[in-house]
């Protein structure tokens, strides 16, 4: 459950930032030039570097505590703890982080364990990566497209499912039932499988359920037996609630260090984000994937398969030139060196694991708070993993050679784009309007991307190979896929992409602003007009057309009330509060009344024209009609009339 601070905020902004991880591979980029290391990778130097970076960063950002573990050359190089597992804000004294004993929730880093379990069964021949997953399920997966969904798709975030927010994190719940989560309210499939990266917790949970079905035992028990126990990861579990012996060791989770701890976050799609673990255990997991620790059960060929790009140009087209998924792992190459990893964010915990197979090195970091302003936990983990590579694995990338196609492709890319990690079937599709990217052709063969593909700041990219672009002065890359003479998709992250926004998406903010402004002025004019008529003893309008005018006013009031209601609902969801279905259905009803107001508004305008009421009446009636039509169009376009209480 990767979410920057709250799941709704992810939908609004994570489209412009990786769902998890750096996601800046350089597949196909010019060969990098070697550069001497800036520091020797030793326990003493790593400890000194971490001690100089992490404590100050925690203080400045308001993150209570952190753990870091580093492995190198087959050994655990260091495990460090900083700050507080419990700040004492809820009573009692503060409790420091114990790097060996304190447990952290690692959210979507859990997906690496799930993928490892899948690949163990693939190696045994019990599962096949390219078989229709319905062969392994006891229910039929609801899909829209003819192409079957496979395990390869599930492990690469390409099954084509939209996002779901409701119930992402539960508080005070009993152990959740994985099958019920998958069957009762599945997200809609909105993209053909294998063609569009779109981050999917549901897809990863489905992979975990397939492990459960194939193994014949609960997922958390199978993983404990086949991954945790053989690797000596005795401080790791997917169980919810936590077993005895784990609860008292778990770090409390915080929004920041100024407030009380949050409740235990129960994750209903457990394989996608329920792992509780320690820094030493994550070090053992990294060593196993680097091939240095026996017990994982995956042979060299399976590890190579798992760590290699899992989809090619036959599926992704020219998006395959840029950021791609391995099987479960993000390709996070930097400095011209291969890197594999995954990040994870819940409401309170923010983590990242990254391994460097060619260098036999890995680093894991986790925080028990998001910090202030929102999202600092995400950015700080990126700074630590990126800073680690720049300090100890600093090979420089070669200068961009440039391409003959840069100017042409920059012009083809100019436009607005919306993220694929989004909701399309209900009212939350409105967040498409705030989570997109703008690409502008700078006229010199480079493009300006706003607000940036991960940093949140505008970034300039130059084409280093046809359809592959690299950040000027940076490490990130993006790829493009074109159709009919213009770029239709941007590959900005291994597990997510951006698709060109249609004319309706581009025009929607202006249409909505105009419509609401007109309706608001109309509502305010009612009492003002009545006061003016009384004070000047002006005659009231005749009764002809009164019914149409009354119904138009009802529609106008309903449309405005619905707009206010949707804003309140979105604000409520920002705090990860669930909205009752009755409230959502009530808002859908108000929106419908507003849309139906188009009929009496047209009737009223026609009556005014027929009665020759004058151009002022015509103009006012036409504006109200246009505004009601505008809100109705917006509601139809963005799911506000879907009468679907799921989200």
Helix axes 581-596, 546-574, angle to 10 degrees: 150
Residues 413 and 314 in one domain: no
Average pLDDT of the segment spanning 293-318: 94
DSSP H helices, 169-319, are: 178-184, 201-215, 219-223, 229-231, 270-273, 279-289, 300-307, 313-316
Query: What value does the mean pLDDT of the chain take?
Result: 88
User: 452 or 544: whose pLDDT is higher?
Assistant: 452
List of E strands, 348-503: 350-356, 361-367, 415-419, 437-441, 446-450, 459-465, 468-471, 477-483, 486-493, 496-500
C-alpha to C-alpha distance for 100 and 183, rounded to whole angstroms: 39
Q: What pLDDT shows up at residue 401?
A: 67
Q: What pLDDT shows up at residue 26?
A: 38
Q: What pLDDT shows up at residue 264?
A: 93
The answer, yes or no, to whether residue 22 has pLDDT greater than 70, is no
Q: What pLDDT shows up at residue 392?
A: 94
Residues 161 and 282 in one domain: yes
Q: What pLDDT shows up at residue 21?
A: 39
Q: What pLDDT shows up at residue 15?
A: 36
Label residue 543 by pLDDT band (50, 70, 90).
low
Residues 201 and 252 in one domain: yes
Q: What pLDDT shows up at residue 3?
A: 38
Label residue 2 by pLDDT band (50, 70, 90).
very low
C-alpha to C-alpha distance for 498 and 490, rounded to whole angstroms: 5
The answer, yes or no, to whether residue 414 has pLDDT greater than 70, is yes
CATH of the domain at 340: 3.40.710.10
Average pLDDT of the segment spanning 235-263: 94
- The pLDDT tens digits of the residues spanning 475-518 come to 889 999 999 999 999 999 999 999 999 998 889 999 999 999 99
- The pLDDT tens digits of the residues spanning 316-364 come to 999 999 989 999 999 998 888 899 999 999 989 999 999 999 999 999 9
Label residue 556 by pLDDT band (50, 70, 90).
very high
For the chain, count helices (H), then strands (E): 19, 19
- Of the residues 472, 502, 532, the one at which a domain ends: 502
Average pLDDT of the segment spanning 583-609: 93
Average pLDDT of the segment spanning 8-22: 38
Q: What pLDDT shows up at residue 294?
A: 84
Cα–Cα–Cα angle for 430, 435, 439, rounded to 5 degrees = 125
Total of domains in the chain: 3
DSSP letters for 116-184: HHHHHHHHHTS--TTSBGGGG-SSPPP-SSSSPPBHHHHHTT-S-B----TTSSEES-----HHHHHHH
The answer to whether the CB of 309 falls within 8 A of the CB of 325 is yes
- The owner of tokens 């042409």 is 408
The answer, yes or no, to whether residue 209 has pLDDT greater than 90, is yes
C-alpha to C-alpha distance for 248 and 246, rounded to whole angstroms: 6
Residues 357 and 453 in one domain: no
- Of the residues 473, 502, 531, the one at which a domain ends: 502
Average pLDDT of the segment spanning 246-266: 94
Q: What pLDDT shows up at residue 399?
A: 60
Task: For residue 548, tell me if it sits in a domain.
Answer: yes
Q: What pLDDT shows up at residue 553?
A: 92
Q: How far is residue 258 from each of residues 56, 59, 264, 541, measured CA to CA in Å?
A: 16, 11, 18, 60
Task: For residue 399, tell me if it sits in a domain.
Answer: no
List of E strands, 476-589: 477-483, 486-493, 496-500
The answer to whether the CB of 285 falls within 8 A of the CB of 233 is yes
Average pLDDT of the segment spanning 601-630: 89
Residues 121 and 108 in one domain: yes
Residues 508 and 492 in one domain: no
- Over pLDDT 70: what percentage of the chain? 89
3-state secondary structure of 464: strand
Q: Using alpha carbons, select from 18, 55, 58 the residue that is nearest to residue 369.
A: 58
User: 314 or 400: whose pLDDT is higher?
Assistant: 314
Average pLDDT of the segment spanning 559-564: 95
Task: For residue 262, tell me if it sits in a domain.
Answer: yes
C-alpha to C-alpha distance for 444 and 370, rounded to whole angstroms: 39
The answer, yes or no, to whether residue 541 has pLDDT greater than 70, is no
Q: What pLDDT shows up at residue 644?
A: 79
- Of the residues 502, 523, 540, the one at which a domain ends: 502
Backbone phi, psi, residue 379, to 5°: -70, -35
Task: For residue 316, tell me if it sits in a domain.
Answer: yes
- Give the residues across from 72 on adjacent strands: 75, 361
- Tokens at 297, concatenated: 């059960």
Average pLDDT of the segment spanning 222-250: 96
Structural domain span for residue 45: 7-392
Residues 426 and 456 in one domain: yes
First to last CA, the chain: 15
Residues 87 and 121 in one domain: yes
- The pLDDT tens digits of the residues spanning 101-159 come to 999 999 999 999 999 999 999 999 999 999 999 999 999 999 999 999 999 999 999 99
Q: What pLDDT shows up at residue 427?
A: 85
Q: What pLDDT shows up at residue 531?
A: 55
Residues 322 and 421 in one domain: no
The answer to whether the CB of 620 falls within 8 A of the CB of 546 is no
The answer, yes or no, to whether residue 230 has pLDDT greater than 60, is yes
Q: What pLDDT shows up at residue 194?
A: 97
Q: What pLDDT shows up at residue 564?
A: 95
Residues 374 and 443 in one domain: no
Q: What pLDDT shows up at residue 117?
A: 98
- The pLDDT tens digits of the residues spanning 143-196 come to 999 999 999 999 999 999 998 887 677 776 668 899 999 998 899 999 999 999
C-alpha to C-alpha distance for 438 and 459, rounded to whole angstroms: 11
- The pLDDT tens digits of the residues spanning 370-392 come to 998 776 777 888 889 999 999 99
3-state secondary structure of 497: strand
Average pLDDT of the segment spanning 50-66: 95
C-alpha to C-alpha distance for 344 and 62, rounded to whole angstroms: 19
User: 145 or 30: whose pLDDT is higher?
Assistant: 145
User: 574 or 417: whose pLDDT is higher?
Assistant: 417
| Active site annotation includes 108 | yes
Average pLDDT of the segment spanning 405-414: 97
C-alpha to C-alpha distance for 183 and 269, rounded to whole angstroms: 11
The answer, yes or no, to whether residue 51 has pLDDT greater than 80, is yes
Q: What pLDDT shows up at residue 14?
A: 38
User: 219 or 574: whose pLDDT is higher?
Assistant: 219
Task: For residue 311, tell me if it sits in a domain.
Answer: yes
Task: For residue 152, tell me if it sits in a domain.
Answer: yes
Active-site position among 108, 200, 252, 637:
108
Q: What pLDDT shows up at residue 172?
A: 63
Average pLDDT of the segment spanning 25-41: 50
Label residue 542 by pLDDT band (50, 70, 90).
low
- The owner of tokens 């005749």 is 542
Task: For residue 345, tell me if it sits in a domain.
Answer: yes
The answer to whether the CB of 329 falls within 8 A of the CB of 115 is yes
Residues 412 and 527 in one domain: no
Q: Which is it for the CA torsion 384, 107, 246, 370, positive or negative?
A: positive
Helix (H) or strand (E) holding 70, with range, is strand 65-72
Task: For residue 91, tell me if it sits in a domain.
Answer: yes
Residues 527 and 479 in one domain: no
């Amino acid at each position: 459950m990767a979410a920057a601070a709250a799941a709704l905020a992810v939908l609004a902004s994570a489209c412009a930032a990786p769902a998890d991880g750096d996601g800046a591979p350089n597949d196909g980029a010019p060969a990098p030039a070697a550069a001497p290391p800036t520091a020797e990778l030793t326990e003493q130097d790593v400890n000194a570097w971490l001690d100089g970076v992490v404590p100050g960063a925690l203080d400045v950002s308001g993150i209570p505590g952190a753990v870091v573990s580093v492995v190198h050359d087959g050994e655990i190089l260091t495990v460090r703890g900083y700050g507080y597992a419990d700040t004492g804000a809820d009573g009692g004294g503060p409790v420091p982080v114990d790097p060996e004993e304190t447990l952290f929730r690692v959210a979507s880093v859990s997906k690496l364990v799930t993928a490892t379990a899948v690949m163990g069964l693939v190696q045994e021949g019990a599962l096949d990566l390219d078989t229709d997953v319905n062969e392994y399920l006891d229910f039929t997966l609801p899909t829209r497209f003819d192409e079957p969904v496979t395990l390869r798709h599930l492990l690469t975030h390409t099954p084509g499912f939209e996002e779901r927010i409701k119930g992402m994190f539960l508080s005070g719940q009993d152990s959740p039932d994985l099958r019920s989560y998958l069957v009762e309210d599945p997200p809609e499939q909105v993209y053909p499988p294998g063609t569009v990266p779109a981050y999917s917790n549901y897809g990863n949970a489905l992979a975990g359920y397939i492990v459960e079905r194939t193994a014949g035992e609960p997922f958390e028990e199978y993983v404990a037996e086949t991954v945790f126990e053989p690797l000596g990861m005795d401080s790791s579990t997917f169980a919810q609630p936590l077993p005895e012996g784990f609860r008292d060791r778990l770090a409390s989770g915080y929004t920041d260090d100024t407030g009380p701890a949050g409740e235990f976050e129960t994750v209903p799609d457990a394989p996608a984000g329920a792992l509780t673990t320690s820094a030493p255990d994550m070090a053992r997991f990294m060593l196993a994937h680097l091939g240095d620790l026996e017990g994982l059960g995956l042979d060299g060929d399976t590890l190579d398969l798992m760590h290699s790009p899992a989809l090619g140009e036959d599926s992704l087209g020219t998006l395959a030139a840029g950021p791609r998924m391995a099987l479960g792992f993000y390709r996070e190459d930097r400095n011209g060196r291969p890197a594999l990893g995954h990040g994870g964010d819940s409401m309170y915990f923010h983590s990242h694991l990254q391994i460097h197979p060619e260098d036999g090195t890995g680093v894991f970091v986790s925080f028990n708070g998001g910090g202030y302003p929102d999202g600092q936990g995400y950015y700080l983990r990126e700074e630590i993993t990126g800073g680690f590579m720049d300090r100890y694995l600093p090979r420089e990338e070669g200068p961009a050679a440039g391409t003959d196609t840069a100017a042409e492709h920059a012009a083809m890319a100019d436009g607005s784009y919306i993220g694929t990690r989004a909701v399309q079937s209900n009212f939350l599709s409105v967040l498409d309007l705030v989570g997109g990217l703008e690409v502008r052709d700078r006229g010199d063969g480079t493009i300006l991307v706003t607000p940036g593909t991960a940093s949140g700041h505008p970034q300039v990219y130059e084409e280093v190979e046809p359809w592959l672009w690299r950040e000027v002065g940076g490490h990130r890359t993006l790829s493009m896929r074109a159709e009919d003479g213009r770029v239709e998709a941007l590959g900005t992250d291994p597990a997510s992409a951006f698709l060109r926004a249609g004319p309706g998406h581009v025009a929607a903010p202006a249409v909505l602003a105009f419509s609401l402004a007109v309706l608001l002025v109309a509502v305010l004019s009612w009492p003002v007009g009545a006061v003016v008529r009384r004070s000047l003893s002006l005659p009231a309008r005749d009764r002809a057309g009164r019914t149409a005018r009354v119904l138009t006013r009802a529609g106008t009031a309903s449309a405005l009330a619905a707009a206010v209601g949707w804003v309140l609902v979105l604000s409520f969801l920002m705090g990860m509060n669930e909205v009752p279905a009755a409230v959502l259905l009530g808002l859908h009803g108000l929106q419908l009344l507003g849309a139906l107001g188009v009929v009496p508004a047209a009737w009223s305008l026609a009556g005014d024209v027929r009665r020759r009421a004058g151009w002022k009446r015509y103009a006012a009636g036409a504006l109200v009609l246009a505004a009601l039509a505008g809100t109705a169009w917006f509601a139809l376009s963005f799911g506000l009339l879907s009468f679907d209480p799921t989200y």
